[in-house]
């Protein structure tokens, strides 16, 4: 039976009219024997199928509309997820740009946010903390599934920036020591400039991938995906000479002064080795610049005498001692007042072998605004 082929309850049962008495003769109807109480012929099977098809078509259209509405909701949700992601990323990159501007302004001697009494070293330690906070925020970004790979690269770029600040901060105490320690520190800090550059490359790759995902999903964001270049193009800090020059003018300690700060302080600045007061210890044998002396058995240290020949107090003075036997040691004078002479003992390690002659080179680091550095160095030949 077809679904719509139902019996009409008003149709007489087969075999007769229910109003006629049993056994009565059947009277022919006026229309030739065909009549219907509803005033029309009953629905045929073809008409029922048409009605079925109409209902089925309506159901299909309804389902299509539901699917379209559902997909529209999904598309809107995806669009919002991208918009929120890019908005949060833009907030992070804006603060990153400010961090970069402040750091490199101070490095170039332009000030930045004001170093006050804490010096460049204190500022860099603050920058290191800021870079950690930015890394934490980058790790917390809720990236859409299509850009998970790009998000990983963004996190890595911020890890590199934080690592670079850690590396720079770790070298600043050595930078202030002067001499060979300062040279090594300068080279290490230059390496961190290359780390900053690598972070920029990673971020740029991630930016391209996010922009491609937006295009693939037909999503338009007004300001687009933000740029984030930490290392400036000018000056070119990927040039070792540029980085070294910038580092030469910064104040690294809380009490130190840069060349820019001391030029107008009305003081003279300068240190010098005290001739005849640099000794081998424990014997106390005096060394002669350019001359040769014989060491006493057991001599294993050199005592270097340094005089502050300026009118300003100085601090964190590094003294390097090196020898052609492999000696490479250093010591530090924490504070030295104007006109004062202080000494620092530095071990001769490895100890020279008996019977050998060793040339010991002594180098006292210059202080900011020091004009004459010739008397900061001396060379002594010692026979052990």
pLDDT, tens digit (0-9, with 9 covering 90-100), for 105-157: 988 876 544 444 457 888 898 999 999 999 999 999 999 999 999 999 999 99
pLDDT score of 115: 45
DSSP-derived secondary structure for 315-347: EEEEEEEEETTS-EEEEEEEEE-TT-EEEEEEE
Query: How high is the mean pLDDT in each 10-residue block of the chain (384 residues)?
Result: 47 49 47 49 71 77 71 68 93 96 87 52 90 96 93 97 95 75 87 97 96 91 93 93 83 49 75 91 92 91 93 88 88 90 92 90 86 86 92
Q: Tell me the two tokens of residue 317.
A: 């003075």
Three-class secondary structure of residue 308 per DSSP: strand
Residue-level pLDDT at 43:
61
Long-range contacts of 213-216 (CB under 8 A, 24+ apart): 213/82, 213/144, 213/146, 213/147, 213/150, 214/82, 216/146
Residue 251's pLDDT is 53
CB 307 within 8 A of CB 269: no
The pLDDT of residue 172 is: 86
Q: Strand ranges (DSSP E) for the chain?
A: 271-273, 279-281, 285-286, 292-294, 301-308, 314-323, 328-336, 341-347, 357-364, 377-383
> 292, 290, 316: which is closest to 377 by C-alpha?
290
76, exposed or middle or buried, with CB in 10 Å at 0-12, 13-18, 19+? Answer: exposed
Phi, psi of 225 (to 5 degrees): -80, 130
What span, in angstroms and rounded, lies between the C-alpha atoms of 175 and 189? Answer: 9
Q: DSSP string spanning 108-155?
A: TTS-TT--TTTHHHHHHHHHHHHHHHHHHHHHT----GGGHHHHHHHH
**How confident is the model at residue 304, as a pLDDT?**
93
Q: Which residue has the tokens 């598309």?
A: 75
CATH architecture, range 270-383: Sandwich (2.60)
What pLDDT was estimated at residue 237? Answer: 94
Look-up: residue for tokens 């079925």? 52
How far apart CA 103 and CA 97 sit, in angstroms, is 10
Q: Are 340 and 362 in contact (CB under 8 A)?
A: no
pLDDT on residue 41: 61
Q: What are the tens digits of pLDDT across the range 219-235?
A: 988 889 999 999 999 99
Say how far apart CA 6 and CA 17 lie, in whole Å: 20
Full-model pTM: 0.54
C-alpha separations of 260 from 9, 118, 168, 251, 368 in Å? 110, 16, 21, 9, 9
């Amino acid at each position: 039976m077809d679904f719509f082929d139902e019996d009409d309850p008003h149709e007489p049962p087969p075999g007769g009219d229910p109003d006629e008495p049993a056994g009565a003769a059947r009277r022919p109807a006026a229309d030739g024997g065909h009549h219907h109480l509803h005033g029309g012929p009953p629905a045929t099977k073809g008409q029922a199928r048409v009605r079925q098809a109409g209902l089925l078509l309506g159901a299909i259209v309804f389902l299509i509309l539901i699917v379209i509405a559902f997909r529209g909701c999904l598309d809107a949700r995806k669009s919002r997820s991208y918009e929120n992601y890019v908005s949060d990323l833009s907030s992070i990159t804006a603060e990153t740009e400010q961090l970069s501007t402040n750091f490199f302004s101070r490095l170039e001697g332009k000030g930045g946010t004001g170093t006050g009494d804490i010096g460049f070293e204190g500022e860099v330690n603050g920058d290191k903390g800021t870079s950690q906070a930015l890394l934490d925020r980058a790790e917390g970004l809720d990236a859409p599934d299509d850009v998970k790979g790009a998000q990983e690269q963004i996190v890595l770029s911020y890890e590199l920036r934080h690592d670079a600040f850690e590396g720079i901060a770790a070298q600043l105490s050595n930078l202030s020591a002067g001499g060979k320690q300062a040279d090594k520190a300068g080279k290490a800090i230059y390496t961190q400039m290359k780390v900053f550059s690598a972070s920029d490359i990673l971020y740029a790759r991630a930016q391209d991938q996010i922009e491609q995902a937006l295009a693939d999903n037909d999503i338009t964001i007004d300001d687009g995906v933000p740029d984030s270049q930490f290392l400036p193009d000018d000056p070119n800090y990927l040039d070792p000479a540029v980085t070294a020059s910038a580092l030469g003018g910064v104040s690294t300690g809380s009490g130190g002064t840069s060349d820019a700060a001391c030029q107008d302080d009305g003081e003279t600045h300068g240190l010098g080795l005290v001739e005849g007061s640099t000794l081998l210890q424990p014997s106390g044998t005096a060394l002669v610049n350019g001359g040769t002396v014989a060491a006493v058995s057991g001599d294993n240290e050199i005592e270097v005498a340094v005089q502050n020949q300026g009118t300003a107090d100085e601090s964190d003075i590094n003294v390097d001692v090196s020898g052609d036997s492999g000696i490479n040691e250093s010591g530090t004078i924490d504070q030295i007042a104007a006109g004062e002479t202080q000494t620092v003992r530095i071990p001769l390690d490895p100890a020279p072998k008996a019977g050998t002659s060793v040339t010991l080179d002594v180098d006292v680091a210059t202080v900011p605004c020091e004009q004459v550095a010739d008397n900061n160095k001396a060379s002594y030949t010692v026979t052990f």
